[in-house]
Amino acid sequence: MTHSFEAMMQELPMVAIMRGIEPSEVLEHGRVLIDAGFRIIEVPLNSPNPFESIRLLQEAYGENTLIGAGTVLTMEQLAQLIATGAGLMVAPHTDPEIIRAAKAAGLYTMPGFFTVTEAFAAIHAGADALKIFPAEALPSLKVISAMGAVVPKEVRLCPVGGVSPDNVGDYLDAGARGFGLGSALYKKGQSVEQTRLNALAFAAAWKERS
């Protein structure tokens, strides 16, 4: 892998989530994301034939893009992910066993959490970044500020769920240092052109603040 997770997040701290993508269309959508500046792409495992999509992305773009799986829930799924050669494991929850196993296999990890207790369990297991999920359920963005006061600065807090180009700045003001982008970036069945336009809108929202 040419660049590290941290280097890619410094370029554009946004993980593209392609939930529901089909293997037959994944390369076209992946290409427009990369052209818009995205360097990290995940295919959630509740997508059709997800490991095939991940394998295709890894073979085509893996040299300069970090490809991975989202919604990794079991050790068996982790083993299947490792077999694709991809380098990123994203989960909706904090499972120290899976985090440690992914790190031992050389993957970057971005587990989900919702409490400070879960955050530190993930950090102690070796998490590279933390996915605040579901971010839209936070009672206030002040929660992110409070978390950022205790979580080590080198660990990026990345809201996932409800993030749009219009509220990226609000999350950054609260202390977010990365994002996972779901349906506001890609929805199952949308056109490649729509993916391109959405990706450019998110990239522009980040550039306005960087």
The first and second tokens of residue 32, run together, are 């427009």
207 tagged catalytic: no
Alpha carbon distances (Å) from 62 to 40, 57, 86, 155, 165:
10, 7, 7, 24, 26
Angle subtended at Cα 91 by Cα 83 and Cα 202, rounded to the nearest 5 degrees: 105
Question: Tens of pLDDT along 16-47?
Answer: 999 999 999 999 999 999 999 999 999 999 99
Q: Which tokens in the block code for residue 65?
A: 């893009």
Q: Other C-beta atoms within 10 Å of 51: how many?
A: 18
DSSP annotation of 160 reads B
pLDDT digits (tens, 9 = 90+) for 78-125: 999 999 999 999 999 999 999 999 999 999 999 999 999 999 999 999
Any idea which residue has 């929850």 for tokens?
A: 93
User: Cα–chain-centroid distance for residue 80?
Assistant: 18
Convert the pLDDT of each residue in 150-206 to its tens digit: 999 999 999 999 999 999 999 999 999 999 999 999 999 999 999 999 999 999 999
Q: Which of 131, 153, 188, 207 is catalytic?
A: 131
DSSP at 128: S
Active site residue 188: no
Annotated catalytic residue within 6, 11, 42, 63 = 42
Q: Looking at residue 3, what is its pLDDT?
A: 66
Whole-number average pLDDT of the chain: 96
Return the H-helix or E-strand segment holding 150. helix 142-150
Task: Give the pLDDT confidence score for residue 209 in this predicted structure.
Answer: 87
Sheet (strand 40-44) strand order:
108-110, 88-90, 66-70, 40-44, 14-17, 179-181
Residues found in the chain: 210
Check the CA dihedral 123-128-130-131 and report its sign. Answer: negative
